[in-house]
Amino acid sequence: MGVSFDEFNLNRQILNAIADAGYTEATPIQEKAIPPIINGQDVMGIAQTGTGKTAAYVLPILRKLNYAQGNTARALILAPTRELAMQIEENIKSFAVNTDLRTVILYGGLGPKTQIESLNKGTDIIVASPGRFLDLYIAGHINTKTLQILVLDEADKMMDMGFMPQINRILEVVPRKRQNMLFSATMSDKVQELAGNFLKFPTVIEVTPQATPAQTVNQVLYHVPNIRTKINVLKKLLDRDEEITKLMVFCKTRAAAEDVYKFLLRKYDDKRVKVLHANKGQNTRINAINAFKNDEIKILVATDVASRGIDVSDVSHVINFDVPIVYEDYVHRIGRTGRALQSGEAVTFCNPAEEYYMGKIQKLIRQTVTLLPIPDEVFVEETPYEEKQSQAREIDMQMRKEDPDFKGAFHEKKERKERVAKLSHKQELSKKHGKPKTTRGKALRKR
């Protein structure tokens, strides 16, 4: 049995909101994080998506702020993507429903006018992406003097997305005396360095071993030679229609996501499938996420921009159409399923050039993913020449990464070409070099 929320020093308004939201017991990270945060300690939480970490810091922050006060924010929560920022704001709204606490959300991708108007009305909590927060601070729309609490959520993703300069700049402009929290799914060297600069004698909470997928997710792997065969395997898996209640398909690039989406449109219509990537406009992305959350669509095709910050509790299947190159993203992708103690299935398609990354992922998660044969009835296509060349180049690059002295097939060809070119160049020079002598000889003879 888990710990009841009544055991924490939370006020009645918050406890009623928790009960209304249907929560009865705290998750392990909430149980470990809420008491030290309420006590004012700095906290570092290592927790994967789907463990309830947002509520782990939102609930004690609401308890500490208690009621609306003044016009400038007392808490700042920084998130790497607008999707995650929106999810955090949603959490705050549902738990603060019985209080008068005010929240403003700031992110890029749309004009700042409405966000500036919201700030001018007064706020207690700001949820923001680092870039937009800094832009509005520099433009004079944010006063940081009253900030008492600073949270960095999904710090590992912020590092990956290159937000370190903005975070360092924000740390320069917020009050030195404040409470800090840092949450991350993985503990990379960069995150450790940031934690060292940012946190003071933190309470460290690790609810699962680093980068371990939820135990409720059944993971399987198919070795598939090329993109066309991946589509054929996907087609076969979709025949198990009745088992798949909600599916997310992850692709490495926007182009791949569009291709998979177009294929799925032939099988389903656009009322059952949507695509989500960075090229899509802000409203389109929000509408796609909401349609998926509300069961209006069954399938969401997405790039890794959407692998975090989408809080959908009943995704039955995740398909990795491509193996992610950032190994931690595998954990975030498959963390979309098997949430809230429900079981889920994660299927990965892996071509010869992706086997290297899959090996690294299995080392990271300390698990061997079950390898299944391609079903007999799936037609295995011949790999087109261009794709074969691209895979061979990628494999060469991987081998060189492991062994700098490795000379791959492409390297040998290149060397051979260079040798031929050098030889030709020498022959040209010797021809040119020979001509002036002859001319000079003729000239002397004429004299």
Query: What percentage of the chain carries pLDDT values higher than 70?
Result: 83
391 has pLDDT over 50: yes
Kindly report, residue by residue over 183-210, the tens digit of the pLDDT: 988 777 788 888 888 888 999 988 765 5
Same domain, 148 and 188: yes
Pair 232, 378: CB distance under 8 Å: yes
Q: Is 176 inside any structural domain? A: yes
Picking from 162, 178, 206, the residue at the C-terminal end of a domain is 206
Q: Is 194 inside any structural domain? A: yes
Ranking 69-73, 260-264, 275-279 by mean pLDDT, the lowest is 275-279
Whole-number pLDDT of residue 389: 93
Confidence of residue 245 (pLDDT cuts 50, 70, 90): confident
- Return the CATH number at 334: 3.40.50.300
Same domain, 65 and 161: yes
Q: Which residues contact 407 (CB under 8 A, 6 or more apart)?
A: 415
Query: Rounded distance, CA 282 to CA 81, Å?
Result: 12
The label of the residue with tokens 């004079």 reads 140
Same domain, 227 and 201: no
Domain that holds residue 296: 217-383
Same domain, 262 and 200: no
Kindly report, residue by residue over 37-92, the tens digit of the pLDDT: 999 999 999 876 667 789 999 999 999 998 999 999 999 999 998 888 988 998 89
Same domain, 148 and 251: no
Q: Is 405 inside any structural domain? A: no
What is the CA angle 101-166-128, rounded to 5? 25
Same domain, 80 and 222: no
Rounded to an integer, what is the distance from CA 406 to the centroid of its chain?
A: 32
Q: Give the residue-averaged pLDDT of 158-168.
A: 87
Q: In 3D, which of 351, 349, 361, 330 has the Cα closest to residue 394?
A: 351
Query: Rounded distance, CA 325 to CA 318, Å?
Result: 17
Q: Is 120 inside any structural domain? A: yes
Same domain, 170 and 44: yes
Whole-number pLDDT of residue 420: 56
Q: Is 414 inside any structural domain? A: no
Query: Rounded distance, CA 432 to CA 426, Å?
Result: 10
Same domain, 157 and 259: no
Picking from 206, 225, 242, the residue at the C-terminal end of a domain is 206
Same domain, 312 and 195: no
Same domain, 266 and 121: no
Q: Is 398 inside any structural domain? A: no
Number of domains the chain is built from: 2
Q: Is 187 inside any structural domain? A: yes
Query: Rounded distance, CA 297 to CA 312, Å?
Result: 13
Whole-number pLDDT of residue 283: 73
Ranking 44-48, 290-294, 299-303, 306-310 by mean pLDDT, the lowest is 306-310
Q: Is 55 inside any structural domain? A: yes
Picking from 206, 234, 261, the residue at the C-terminal end of a domain is 206
Q: In 3D, which of 51, 78, 74 has the Cα closest to residue 62?
A: 74
CB atoms within 10 A of CB 137: 18
Same domain, 186 and 222: no
Same domain, 134 and 14: yes
